[in-house]
Amino acid sequence: MKRIGIICLIFFWAAGSVDAAVDLMFIVDESGSMSGEHEWIGNMVTYLDSELMAEGQADNMYALVGFAAGTSDGGPDPRRHSVGSSAWGTAEELSTATAELVTSGALEDGWDAINFGLRGYYFHSDALVNMILVTDEDRDSLNPSLTYDKMLTALNDDNVMLNVVVDCGFEDGSGVSALGVDAFGNAYVADGSGGYTLSTGGVMVSPYYNTDTCYVELAWDTGGAAWDLNQLRDGGMVAESFTTAFVDVKVSEIVCTPAPGAFLLNGLGIVFAGLLRRCRVL
C-alpha cells in the first residue's frame, strides 16, 4: 500500500475522504536566521502540490504571510506577500514569492501572524483551510490581547488546521529522536536513507522557551502535526526524510479531511491505529 494510503487510514477515524478546494497559507518568520527555511518552503511547496494532485486533489491555492520584519524595517507586521498578482496563487507562484521574504526581523509573534491570516484574508468558499507556521523562535507577545483559548477558538471557528515547524525536539515512545509528531501521537523517525518510519508514543522534548505551549500544543489541538526545525537544518538524508514525512503527512491531513477538534480517537481507534503503524510498508 502507498505511504499516503496507510497514513490516511489512521486519519480516517477523524473523518472520511472528501475532495474539496484547499487553501494553504504559509506563515513565515522573517528574522535573520530563517533564510534556509525560506529556501526550503520555495522548493518543498511544488513537491507538496504535485503529491496532492497525484491523490486527485487539484484545486489548491496558496498564500504567504511574513512576520517579524516590520519590527526592524518600519513596514507592516505581519504582512501579506503577493502570490502571483494577488493574495492567493499557485504553488509555483508561491515558490517564486518566497524570494520576497526578508531576514531583517527581530521580534516574532506567531500568534499575531496567525490572527492576521485569519482576519486579513478571504478564504475560498467551502475550502479546507490549512496554516503552516515556520519559525525558529518562541512567541514574543506583541499583541497581549491574544490568549491560547482565543487562538484555538478562532482556528476552530474557521475550521483551520495548524501545522508548525519550530524549534522543539520530539521523540517516540522508545526515546528515539523524531522528525515530528502528529496529533495522534504518531512519531515520524528518519530511517537513514531519506525516508522515515512510523512509531508510537510521540512526545515533545526540549522546546525553545514557550514554543511548546504557544505553538506545538496549539497545532495538536487543531488536529495538525508539529515538526522539529532543527532536523531540517541537519541537512543531508535527515533533511530529505523531513521533507518526505512532512509532505506525506500534510497530504494525508488534506485528503482525509480531519475536522479540527474531531481528531481524538476512541480506545478502539487507538488500538487500530497502532496496528496500522506496525504494519506500515514503504
State residue 75's pLDDT score: 64
DSSP string, 79-102: EEEPBTTBSSB-HHHHHHHGGG--
State residue 70's pLDDT score: 72
State residue 111's pLDDT score: 98
State residue 257's pLDDT score: 61
State residue 265's pLDDT score: 41
State residue 106's pLDDT score: 85
Q: How many CA atoms lie within 13 A of 46 on its CB side?
A: 11
The pTM of this model reads 0.87
State residue 2's pLDDT score: 45
pLDDT by 10s per residue, the chain, length 282: 345 544 555 554 444 445 678 999 999 999 989 999 999 999 999 999 999 999 999 999 999 999 997 766 656 789 999 999 999 999 999 999 999 999 988 889 999 999 999 999 999 988 999 999 999 999 999 999 999 999 999 999 999 999 999 999 999 999 999 999 999 999 999 999 999 999 999 999 999 999 999 999 999 999 999 999 999 999 999 999 999 999 999 999 998 864 333 444 433 333 333 333 322 322
Go through the domains of the chain in sequence order and give each one's CATH number.
3-278 (3.40.50.410)
Q: What is the largest CA-CA distance in the chain?
A: 54
What is the residue whose three cell numbers read 491574544?
146
59 φ, ψ to 5°? -95, 75
